[in-house]
């Protein structure tokens, strides 16, 4: 009997312990913290030096093959600085170059380099260094990712120690914008360090050695774990920053936490200061955490359904228009992205401002008209097709909803999942029909990238070939002024919209969470980045 009792107690203990564990895990704080009002400004105290800002990324920078590919996001902006930097209104302003002027109708650009700037290894930045950097960038042998973004440079001359002349064969209004991109393209790096440690030398550049001139210098990159950088004491800031330099923070650590729940928990306990991406399903939870702030803003990403426009039935514009009218973007944004996305009605993000042209008539929702258009095109009974999708939860959910919406107009779509490598292979093999994709490009050159016939069949996997449109792309790219470039691209979009080459789905929102300790948090919408040089920690 005594034995039985003790056994019972043991069982009771085991059950009670399990319940404590489950309850402890499920328990929420008694009172949720007040939700910060969007209009509330974070109280800004006096800047303080010190601290390690920890940022969680749910991805790791892209594989580094050459110097110019450190991945996207905020990371390159801490390490590098462009010749120019766009201000918060997207206008190119001073960066490494303190001023610039154009001569001979823009075919000669003269840049005055600041005299107080150094690379992280102590090398002084002068016109020669900038020239060598861009020479490497456009070198056929180097074959940089950014080569074509600076192909407009025909030659460069060092006029004096700190004056660089860039010569162009044709006017190229996007030049300033390309020079302003410190994340990869225009981000200045010590060209001689690259020659010593890059693939021509020790082949450790980008993994163990990185020499930029930004506010933080590279310390180490532990694959799959973290990338650490520390304050560069000799950094002197450009006018866009409040801080004149050097940075307040001792160091910045990017932790690669691939599991969103883990990242959110690390944020909650205070081990992470900034969550670079908050998945929609976690936004409310994060918002209710004490000491947490959430930034939400339109992002650059456009999620869309592509179509092989030269394959029947997609070669008929009426079919493409019908498919567009059958899809209700608002519903998809609400259900799949839980409202943290805006319905998309164009090929690029509305963040482009004046350069963006949407078309609600073509890309909107009108299933009745869709049926009429299908009948007109000879598909009154619909047709069968397939939607190719990568195994991402949100995209698969979107595909399932689209499948139902297309069924309403008689189109049977089969969803086929391919993981990334297989997906790309299908595109290369030209076997695509409908496919879900996204792009986050911030330049208008994304349009010829996807729709110019010189890029057929890849990356023009939308398979759109139109010689007249090719000529219009070329004319816009080499317009005399930026205004003419924008005008050209606006007109192009009007016509491309009518062609209904895609089914635009949503523009996803950039959602960043930061803790109260992070002071002077500012979000630059242009590149979807923050400048950590202005940030300090109040701990």
Partner 1 sequence: MTSYIIKRLLGTIPVLLVATLIVFMMLQLTPGDPVLLLAGERATPERIERITADWGLDQPAYMQYFSFLGRIVQGDFGISITRNRPVMDLVKMSLPITLELSLAALFISMIIGIPAGIISAVRHGSIVDQAALFGSLLGVSIPSFWFGILLMLAFAVRMQILPTSGYGTLAQVVLPAIALGTAGAALISRVMRSSMLEVMQQDYIRTARAKGLSERIVIYKHGLRNALLPVITIMGLSLGWLIAGSVALEMVFARPGMGQLLVRGILMRDYPVVQGMLIILVLCVIIANLVADILIAMANPRIKFD
Q: Which of 4, 41, 381, 467 binds partner 1 (CB under 8 A)?
A: 4
CB of 97 to partner 1, least distance (A): 26
Would you say 372 or 430 has its CB closer to partner 1? 430
Would you say 102 or 441 has its CB closer to partner 1? 441
Q: How many CA atoms lie within 13 A of 401 on its CB side?
A: 19
Instruction: Establish if 1 lies at the interface with partner 1 (CB under 8 A).
Output: no
Instruction: Establish if 21 lies at the interface with partner 1 (CB under 8 A).
Output: yes
Instruction: Establish if 255 lies at the interface with partner 1 (CB under 8 A).
Output: yes
C-alpha–C-alpha distance, residues 313 and 247, integer Å: 57
Q: How many C-beta atoms surround the C-beta of residue 135 within 10 A?
A: 15
Of residues 214, 23, 259, 202, the one with CA closest to residue 118: 214
92-94 and 292-307: which strand pairing? Answer: unpaired
C-alpha–C-alpha distance, residues 193 and 310, integer Å: 48
Instruction: Establish if 89 lies at the interface with partner 1 (CB under 8 A).
Output: no
Of residues 459, 462, 457, the one with CA closest to residue 435: 462
Q: Which of 52, 87, 268, 316 binds partner 1 (CB under 8 A)?
A: 268
Q: Quick check: bond before 459 cis, omega within 30?
A: yes
Beta strands in 223-365 (DSSP E): 226-231, 251-256, 274-275, 292-307, 341-343
Instruction: Establish if 43 lies at the interface with partner 1 (CB under 8 A).
Output: no
Q: Which of 160, 225, 244, 330 binds partner 1 (CB under 8 A)?
A: 225
Q: Which of 266, 376, 484, 516 binds partner 1 (CB under 8 A)?
A: 266
Collapsing DSSP states into helix, strand and coil, what is residue 128? helix
274-275 and 52-57: which strand pairing? Answer: parallel
CB of 423 to partner 1, least distance (A): 8
C-alpha–C-alpha distance, residues 221 and 198, integer Å: 16
Would you say 69 or 237 has its CB closer to partner 1? 69
Please identify, among the stretches 228-236, 249-257, 337-345, 495-503, the one whose residues bind partner 1 according to the rule CB under 8 A.
249-257
CB of 441 to partner 1, least distance (A): 9
Would you say 152 or 345 has its CB closer to partner 1? 152
C-alpha–C-alpha distance, residues 254 and 72, integer Å: 13
Collapsing DSSP states into helix, strand and coil, what is residue 54? strand
Please identify, among the stretches 102-110, 221-229, 311-319, 392-400, the one whose residues bind partner 1 according to the rule CB under 8 A.
221-229
Instruction: Establish if 360 lies at the interface with partner 1 (CB under 8 A).
Output: no
Instruction: Establish if 420 lies at the interface with partner 1 (CB under 8 A).
Output: yes
CB of 258 to partner 1, least distance (A): 5
Q: Which of 82, 95, 206, 214 binds partner 1 (CB under 8 A)?
A: 206
CB of 322 to partner 1, least distance (A): 28
Instruction: Establish if 197 lies at the interface with partner 1 (CB under 8 A).
Output: no
121 Cβ neighbours under 8 A, 6+ residues apart:
190, 193, 211
Q: Do 106 and 480 contact (CB within 8 A), yes or no?
A: yes
Q: Is the dihedral of CA 277, 280, 285, 291 positive or negative?
A: positive
Please identify, among the stretches 140-148, 358-366, 396-404, 475-483, the one whose residues bind partner 1 according to the rule CB under 8 A.
140-148
Would you say 112 or 266 has its CB closer to partner 1? 266
Q: Which of 35, 265, 471, 491 binds partner 1 (CB under 8 A)?
A: 265
CB of 431 to partner 1, least distance (A): 10
502-515 and 341-343: which strand pairing? Answer: antiparallel
Torsion from C-alpha of 531, 188, 66, 215, nearest 10 degrees? -40
Please identify, among the stretches 170-178, 218-226, 405-413, 490-498, the one whose residues bind partner 1 according to the rule CB under 8 A.
218-226
Would you say 202 or 495 has its CB closer to partner 1? 202
Instruction: Establish if 428 lies at the interface with partner 1 (CB under 8 A).
Output: yes
Of residues 178, 15, 23, the one with CA closest to residue 92: 178
Contact residues toward partner 1 (CB under 8 A) are: 3-4, 7-8, 10-11, 14, 21-22, 24-27, 62-65, 69, 143, 145, 148, 203, 206-207, 222-225, 255-259, 261-262, 265-266, 268-269, 271, 418-422, 424-426, 428, 439, 449, 458-459
């Amino acid at each position: 009997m005594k034995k039985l009792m003790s056994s019972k107690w043991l069982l009771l203990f085991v059950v009670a312990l399990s319940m404590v564990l489950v309850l402890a895990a499920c328990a929420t704080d008694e009172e949720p913290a007040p939700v910060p009002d969007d209009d509330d400004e974070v109280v800004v105290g006096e800047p303080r030096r010190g601290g390690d800002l920890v940022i969680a990324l749910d991805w790791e920078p892209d594989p580094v093959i050459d110097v110019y590919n450190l991945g996207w996001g905020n990371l390159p902006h801490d390490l590098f600085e462009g010749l120019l930097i766009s201000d918060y209104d997207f206008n190119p302003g001073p960066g490494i170059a303190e001023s610039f002027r154009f001569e001979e109708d823009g075919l000669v650009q003269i840049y005055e380099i600041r005299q107080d700037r150094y690379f992280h290894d102590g090398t002084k930045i002068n016109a020669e260094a900038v020239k060598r950097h861009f020479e490497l960038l456009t070198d056929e042998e180097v074959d940089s990712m950014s080569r074509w973004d600076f192909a407009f440079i025909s030659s460069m001359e060092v006029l004096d120690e700190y004056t660089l002349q860039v010569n162009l064969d044709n006017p190229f209004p996007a030049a300033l914008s390309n020079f302003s991109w410190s994340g990869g393209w225009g981000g200045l790096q010590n060209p001689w360090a690259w020659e010593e440690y890059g693939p021509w030398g020790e082949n450790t550049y980008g993994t163990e050695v990185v020499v930029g001139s930004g506010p933080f210098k590279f310390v180490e990159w532990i694959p799959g774990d973290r990338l650490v950088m520390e304050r560069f004491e000799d950094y002197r800031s450009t006018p866009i920053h409040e801080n004149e330099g050097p940075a307040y923070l001792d160091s910045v650590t990017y932790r690669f936490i691939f599991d969103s729940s883990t990242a959110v928990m690390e944020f909650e306990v205070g081990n992470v200061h900034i969550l670079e991406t908050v998945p929609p399903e976690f936004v409310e939870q994060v918002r209710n955490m004490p000491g947490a702030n959430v930034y939400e803003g339109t992002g650059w990403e456009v999620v869309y359904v592509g179509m092989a426009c030269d394959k029947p039935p997609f070669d008929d514009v009426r079919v493409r228009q019908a498919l567009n009218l059958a899809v209700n973007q608002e519903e998809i944004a609400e259900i799949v992205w839980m409202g943290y996305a805006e319905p998309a009605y164009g090929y690029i993000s509305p963040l482009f401002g004046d350069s963006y042209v949407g078309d609600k008539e073509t890309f909107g929702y009108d299933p009745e008209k869709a049926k009429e258009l299908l009948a007109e095109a000879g598909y009154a009974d619909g047709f069968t097709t397939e939607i190719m999708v990568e195994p991402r939860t949100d995209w698969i959910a979107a595909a399932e909803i689209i499948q139902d919406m297309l069924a309403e107009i008689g189109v049977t779509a089969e969803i086929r999942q391919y993981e990334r490598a297989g997906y790309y292979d299908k595109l290369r093999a030209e076997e695509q029909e409908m496919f879900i994709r996204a792009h986050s490009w911030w330049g208008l050159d994304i349009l010829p990238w996807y729709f110019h016939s010189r890029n057929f069949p890849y990356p023009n996997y939308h398979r759109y070939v139109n010689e007249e449109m090719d000529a219009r792309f070329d004319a816009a790219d080499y317009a005399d002024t930026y205004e003419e470039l924008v005008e050209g691209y606006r007109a192009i979009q009007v016509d491309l919209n009518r062609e209904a080459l895609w089914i635009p789905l949503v523009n996803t929102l950039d959602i960043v969470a930061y803790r109260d300790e992070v002071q002077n948090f500012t979000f630059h919408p242009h590149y979807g980045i923050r400048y950590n040089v202005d940030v300090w920690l109040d701990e």
